[in-house]
Every structure is written in structure tokens, then in C-alpha cells.
Amino acid sequence: MATSKRIYNWYIALVAAMCMVLYGYDASVFNAAQGSDNWLEWFNLDIERDANLIGLVNTAYTIGAIVAGWFLGGPTADYFGRRVGMGIGCILTIAATFMQAFAPWHNLGCFIGGRVLIGIGQGMALTAGPIYIGEVSPPEIRGQIMTFWQMFYSVGSFIAYWIAYACNANKAKLGDWDWRMVVIFQILVPLIIIILLPFQPESPRWWIKRHNNVEEAKKCLRKIRETEEEVEYEVLTIREAIEFENEAVSGSYLALFKDPSIRKRLYLAFVLNVGQQLSGQGTLNSYSSAIYKTIWPSSQTINLINALNATCGILFTLNAVWTADRFGRRWLFIVGAIGMGICMLIVPVVGMTTPEVIGAKGTATKTQPVGIAIVFLLFLFIFFYKPSWGATTWIWTSEVFSMNVRAQAVGMCSQMQNVANTIFQQFFPIFLARQGLKCLFFFMAINFVLAVFVYFCIPETMKVPLEEIDALFGGQNHVEKGGQMLNVSDTQQANAGKNNVEVLQHETTRDMDV
């Protein structure tokens, strides 16, 4: 049976994970808003005439997110704390939501400004959130907890798409509020996070790194660890690792470039985060409606499909809860990439080998049974993506960096998703228009390459304590070297480690009994 401290540990981690709802909601909200004729009329836009301008509205978000992830999120989370980083991100998201929802008539500039600001807010929240979760979670369940980070992305999409579906069904009554309702509901989750954050502990690692305040770190850990031995051991390993990083490597972000081991991790994480977007998920999230429109003329049908997709995404992500800490990160990456590649192979084959019919608008389209088959395959793609390259990319990225660079590195790596997506989106619409479903062969090839890359280049990090990750990448063991600097005896380390192992074994046995 789970103890009250373990439940509280899950609770504070899930509050932080709710930051991902912001990302999931926003990734879907603009897709829903631009499908509204009232939104187009309000800002005097035409989909064909102003395609580049509409693309700029979408790109504005990524510019803000990239700036925040690379230059603001890490320093804020390191200097003011993980909770403050998440809180500021939520406040900016709320302010930006009002800018978008109440932008004046034909004033697209105000809407674009809101998109930039919401990108900055989410870039800060998405930097601090996964760091906080990784730093408060015990290593034996860190993967399970981080799974909910990706799941809350699906929750955000779920909320956005179902609100869009309801608003679209009642657009005659709502008028201009059919798109405003979708936008303004974006304030709901950030408000909840802002209310809850002040009542949960700060990261113990931040207390020691930023203020060298061991007592505050212990106070935080006593709320989420079962025994005093666990608390003492964790504080000792944190102090040892930070001491080594400050003295032997660099206490600043310069370690990103000075330490070969950290550089290696940075490049590997860059590839994983770029690969996440080039797997096809980011593009399908933005252009699924365009693909479905070739089969179904009804926008309500398309909104329903997107809403069901988001609903299934929540369920599919939960598969990582029981696999991430059982089979490992590498297993999820490889199986997911192969599964996605097969889906991206079959979809265009179905499209190329089935006959076309003349649709209601006089254009060639697919029959409804073929359309249903394609939708099923795209849902199957999501089944493979969500627990693997969706959840596990965030898990791996948030746990592989040492304390001295963790916030900055996670911010940079996570925003590589937006960098890749922004660049790719510049030519994918042309690619889709010219090649149709055959463009999905590109994603097939990328996914198979990613599976090979993981097999040869990505080490397993399952259940490895954060302070001992460095040794996996050719670096020195920061705990061992830091212990020597602090003159911690081997006996003291062994006794603390022994007590900690006994606690972990007891918890594992208890969990198996449950």
C-alpha cells in the first residue's frame, strides 16, 4: 500500500506536470481557431490569400518559446527556483490569453503579440517543470512520474479539441465567441497551477546548489522520503555531486562547452528532441485537419476525429507508466520508432493503391472506408508515439544532465523541438500539396533511422540516480569525486548507500505485493 509521503510525492510532481497542459492546449488551440470562419473574418484573413500571414501567427509562438528556452527559462529556474520558473510561465500564459481572446477588430498584431508572449511563458514553464519532477522523484519511479508529463500534453489537446468541437457545433449561437471560447479556456490550468505551487516544497537540489542550504533541502526531502536515512543519503550525494561540479568542472553554464561528457549528452538530446518532431507527430498535429479534409467535407466530423485522437492519446501515453521503469528508455525508443515507421509505410501504400472518387466539390477524394482505414493507421501511429518518443524523450532529456547545467540544458534541448518543427513546417505544406500521402514515406525513413541511432548511441538511464548519471557518458562519478573533496569516508558512503538500498528493496517488495 502506498504511503502518505509517496502519495504526496506523486501529487507535487503532477502539479508540475500540469505545465504540459499549457503546451498541449496551445498546440491544438490555434489549429482549432484558424478553422473558424469567424476568426478569419475578425482579423480580415483569407486562408488562400493570407497563407503566409497565418503561418506567421503560428511561427510567432515558436519564436517566443525558443527565446525563453534558450535564454530565459534556465537562468530563471536556477536563480529564483523551479517553482518561480513555472509560476512566471503560467502568469505570462494568462496575460497572453487575454491579448489573443480580446484582440481588437482587424488587429492581428495584438493576436500575434499574444502568441509571442504565450511562447515565452510556455518556454519558461516547460524548462522548470520537468527539472522539478526529476529532482523530487525517487529514481526507482522517476520514469513512471515523468510519463504523466507527456500525458498532460494529451490532456491539453483533449480539452482544446473537445471545446472546439462543442463551439463548432454551436457556432450559430456563439458567433465570434466560437473561437474566443477556445482561446480563453487556456487560462484554466495556469490558474490552478499558480494557486497550488506556493504550498509545495522547492527542489532540494536547488536549495543546496543556489543557497548551500542543507537544512531547507532536508526539510523538503522529509516531506517526500520515507526515512531519515534516505534523506541523509540523498543530501550527501547531492552535496558531493555539486562540490565536484563547482570545483572540478564549472559551476556555470560554461560546463556545457568545457566538459566533453556534457557536450556529448547535449548533442544526443538535441538529436532525440529533433527526432521527436521529425517522426511525423508534430506535422500530423498541425496538418491532420488538412489531410482529413481530402476525405470529409464536414468540419464537425474533422473536429470529432481530432477530439477522439486527443482522447486516445491520454490512454496511449499511460502505457509508458508500466514500461518506462520496467523495460527501459531504449526499449521504448526502439519499439516506438519501428512501430511508427511501419504505420508511415502503410498509410501512403493504402492511399496509392485504393481508387479515388469525385467528391461533393468536384475534386478527387478517397471513399469513406479508405478514410476510416487511414484514420485508424494514424491512431495506431499515436499508439506507438505517445509512450515512446512522446513521453520518453522528455524523461531521458530531464534526467541526463548534471545539476550545474540541468536547467539551461533542458531548456535548450526541449526547444529544439520547436526549432525543428518551425523549419520543417516551412516546406511541409508544399510537400503535402505536391506529393499527397506519399510524403509520409519521408517519416517512415526517419523513424527507422532513429531506431538505429538509439540502438548504437543512447545509453540506458532507467533507475540511475541523477547524481551518478555522468558515468554513463564517459564522465567521472560526481558523487564519488565530490565525496573525496568533502572528505566523506568510504564507510560513511557505504553505510548511507546500504541503508538506502534496503529502503528501496523494501519499497519494491511492497509495491510488488500491492
What DSSP line would sit under 37-102, residue for residue? Answer: HHHHHHTT--TTTTHHHHHHHHHHHHHHHHHIIIIIHHHHHHHH-HHHHHHHHHHHHHHHHHHHHT
DSSP type of residue 437: G
Average pLDDT over residues 235-240: 92
Cα distance between residue 65 and residue 122, in whole Å: 6
Average pLDDT over residues 313-329: 90
* The pTM of the whole model exceeds 0.75: yes
CB of 136 closer than 8 Å to CB of 10:
no
pLDDT over 60 (residue 284): yes
pLDDT over 50 (residue 512): no
Positive or negative: CA dihedral 160, 340, 66, 321? positive
**333-375 confidence digits (pLDDT tens):** 999 999 999 999 998 898 888 877 766 566 666 777 888 888 8
**458-500 confidence digits (pLDDT tens):** 999 998 988 889 889 987 776 777 777 777 654 455 454 444 4
Average pLDDT over residues 436-441: 84
**135-147 confidence digits (pLDDT tens):** 999 988 888 898 9
Cell numbers 531521458 correspond to what residue? 396
Tell me how far CA of residue 433 lies from CA of 374, 438, 497, in angstroms: 18, 10, 60
Q: What is the pLDDT of residue 251?
A: 59
| Residue 48: Cβ within 10 Å count | 5
pLDDT band of residue 432 (cuts 50, 70, 90) is: confident
| Residue 325: Cβ within 10 Å count | 21
**94-128 confidence digits (pLDDT tens):** 999 999 999 999 999 999 999 999 999 999 999 99
Average pLDDT over residues 303-325: 87
Q: What is the pLDDT of residue 338?
A: 98
Average pLDDT over residues 74-84: 95
Q: What is the pLDDT of residue 249?
A: 64
DSSP type of residue 460: P
Helix axes 406-435, 108-136, angle to 10 degrees: 130
- Least confident range of 29-43, 84-98, 266-280, 442-456: 29-43
Q: What stretches of 125-177 adopt beta strand conformation (E)?
A: none
Average pLDDT over residues 173-191: 92
Average pLDDT over residues 396-406: 91
C-alpha cell at 310: 486527443
Candidates 239, 199, 198, 196; CA nearest to 217 is 239
Report the Cα 501 to chain-centroid distance in Å. 31
Positive or negative: CA dihedral 340, 344, 345, 347? positive
Percent pLDDT > 90 in the chain is 52
